[in-house]
Structure formats: C-alpha cells, structure tokens
Amino acid sequence: MTSEVDQKQPAKKPTLASDQKKEQQGQDYISLLPDEILHTILSKLQIRDAAVTTAVSKRWSPLFPTLPSLKIIAASFNPRDPNFDPINGRSYVENRIEWIDALFSVLDSRKTAVKKFDIAVDILEPDEDDFYQVFRDICIAGVEELSISNTDIDFYYQIPTPVFACNTIVKLEISTCKLVVPSKLTGLRSVKSLVLWEVIVADDHLRRMISRCKAMEKLVITDCLKVKNIVICAPSLSELVISLGCPVKVVLKTVPRLASVSVSFSYNSDIWNDCYGSLEVEGTDDEENVGEGTNEATNLMAFLNGLRSVKDLHLNFSDEYRMVSF
C-alpha cells in the first residue's frame, strides 16, 4: 500500500544532464558543420534546390552565394522544350529567356568568386552574346576549374574568347565544341590539365594552344575531329593520353618530363571521313602536314624515339588500323 507521503513526492529538479538532453533533441547538427562540408553538400544538389536553402535559416543564408563551385545543365532552372510547353503555355523562346535570366540572377548573387564552373548546355545562336558575358564574368572573377560541354551534337559552337584570355584556369575540359584559338594568346598560362573530347580543331590551332600552356602536366585528346598532325611542345608535361578513331602523326618536340603515355588508334571509316573530310573549321596547317599515303609505321617509330624518359607506355591499335597502316 502506497503511503500518502510517497504520493506527494516533489517533482525532480532539472539537472545539467537533462538540460543537455533536451537541447540535443532540438539541435540541428547539420547546421553545426563547417562551411566547407556544407558547401560540399550543396554542390551535390541541383542548382535550383541549392539556391532554395538560402531561406532555411540565417546559418544557411550565406552558403549558396559563397558556394565555390557551380554546375549548370540545360534543366538547371526550367524545362527547355524545343517547341512548346503545354504545362505552362509558354513557347521555347520564352523558356529560354527565363533560363538565361535565372542564370544571370545566380551569378549576380555571388558573394565570392566561382572557383569551379561546370556548364553542359546547348548554346543557340540567339544566346551567344549572353554566354560570352557569362564566361567573361566567370574568367575575370578568377575561375580555376572550367568544364564546357556541348549537349547539341548537331551543332558545334565555338568556345567563347574570354576563355583564351584567362590566366587563372588550372583545369580545363572542353567537349563537343569547336576550338578556334586566337592568333595572339594572352591567357592559359596556368593550365595544368587540358582535356579535349570530340573537339573540332585545326592542327595549327591545337599546336598554338598546347604550346601556350607552359604549366601543363596532363594532356588528353580523345576522338577529336580534323586533327591530322599533333605537335606537342610542353616542358612540364608528365602525362599524355591520345585516343583517336583515325591515325595521326604525333610529334614530340619539348617534353623532358613526360613519364606516362597512352596512345590508342582505331580505324573507323566515319571518323576517318571526319578527320580528313569536309568539316568546316578555321585554320590550316601546311607545316608537317599528314595526308593520304602517309607512312604510319615511320610516324610511329619517330614518335617512340621521342620518348626519352617515359616509364609507363600503353599502345593500343585495332586490327583494322594495323592492316591499313602497315
């Protein structure tokens, strides 16, 4: 039987342990993380979802405007229907204008420079001036890692000229674009890694770009079109990767630090036609030109003789290429 005294026991006084437990139950641990980790989390989100976090709390408000990396894709802000959007009743042109405005709004809200900018969109003719301004602003602000990928495989647009005047870029990746390199380059002197994938470029333009990148340590050339003669003058180069669907001549002029080389040639008739066919591209290359009747065995031997300090060498030639070339 419970006594009356037991029934009227006073309530327990709060202790330090109980206070801490209550505080922990209502604590937002994610918000306690340092800015660097929260920036990493935001960089994994779609850009429009990351932008919404500015309204979460005072802690999250400054994070998106100071995000050091931005990834822009065609669907970053709104759908881009090529004809008509039946959901909201707007035409593609209206959607495109809204998309461009949203992009500029994001860039204008920046509190710090974008260090890593990854953009994968189709740039249509009406948007060229807008995108020129985008790249100008990004490059002037001091971008260090820049990736440009064209999602329209039927139209190869030119890389905006501000890229060639930027001296803060350390890592540059270009995909499915047309590379027209200015005759007088003022930028690219800080590039350490250059990756070109399915780029249309004339030999002299490619040579001009490579020779300008004095700090370049890694060069990757994959499935590029119109390339017939690759001349490499890169005193800091240590890693070279070339993978093409048609045979080309590779000339190593100044590569004292080259330690790793991977070369792959296949023989694809469609790619061969693209290499030596009628694709329009500015620039010509008469010096050391390679054309029909080239002795690929001689070219390969000259290339191998230029490998003075290579420690890691990978060569991969398809059966079709070997039959045609040797």
**What digits encode the pLDDT tens for the residues 63-84?**
999 999 999 988 887 654 444 4
Give per-residue pLDDT as tens, 131-183: 899 999 999 999 999 999 998 878 898 999 999 999 999 999 999 999 999 99
15: left (phi over 0), alpha (psi -120 to 50) or beta: beta
DSSP annotation string for 260-273: EEEEEE---HHHHH
Q: Backbone phi, then psi, for 322, in 5-degree steps?
A: -65, -35
Sequence ranges of the domains in the chain? 33-65, 66-325
Angle in degrees, CA 46, 52, 54, rounded to 5: 125
What pTM does this model have? 0.79
User: CA 197, CA 219: separation in Å to the nearest integer?
Assistant: 11
Query: Which structure tokens are listed for 252?
Result: 């190593």
What's the rounded Cα separation, in Å, for the pair 207 and 118? 25
At 244 the pLDDT is 92
How far is Cα of residue 148 from the mean position of the Cα atoms in its chain?
A: 5
Q: What pLDDT sits at residue 256?
A: 94
Which residues have CB under 8 Å from 215's CB, separation 6+? Answer: 189, 190, 191, 192, 236
- What is the bridge-based pairing of β-strands 312-317 and 229-233? unpaired
Residue 259 pLDDT more than 60? yes
195, 172 Cβ separation under 8 angstroms: yes
pLDDT at 284: 46
Q: What is the mean pLDDT of the chain?
A: 81
For residues 146 and 309, the model is more confident at: 146
Give one DSSP letter per residue of 82-103, joined into a string: SSEETTTTEEHHHHHHHHHHHH
Report helix, strand and coil shares of the chain as percent, to nearest 5: 35, 20, 45
Note the pLDDT of residue 289. Answer: 44
Name the amino acid, one letter, at 249: K
Predicted local confidence at residue 275, as pLDDT: 52
Q: What is the distance between the alpha carbons of residues 54 and 111, in angstroms, rounded to a whole number?
A: 13
Residue 116 DSSP SS3? strand
103-140 pLDDT, tens digit each: 888 888 889 999 999 999 887 666 778 889 999 999 99
- 224 to 15, 136, 176, 299: CA distances (angstroms): 71, 26, 9, 19
Q: How many CB atoms lie within 10 A of CB 122?
A: 17
In this prediction, residue 262 carries a pLDDT of: 96
Tokens describing residue 122: 């189709």
Quote the tokens at residue 41. 């989390």
The residue that leads in pLDDT, 284 or 77, is: 77
Q: What is the model's pLDDT at position 279?
A: 42
- The amino acid sitting at 112 is T
Strand ranges, E, within 218-267: 218-222, 229-233, 239-244, 249-254, 260-265
Q: Average the pLDDT over each of 70-74, 107-111, 214-218, 286-290 and give the range with the smallest value.
A: 286-290
CA dihedral (315, 316, 318, 319) positive or negative: positive
For the chain, percent of residues with pLDDT exceeding 70: 75
C-alpha 326/C-alpha 312 separation (Å) is 24
For tokens 């800015």, the residue is 35
For 233-248, write each residue's pLDDT tens digit.
999 999 999 999 888 8
- Given a cut of 50, is residue 320 above it in pLDDT? yes
Q: Cβ(264)–Cβ(216) under 8 Å?
A: no
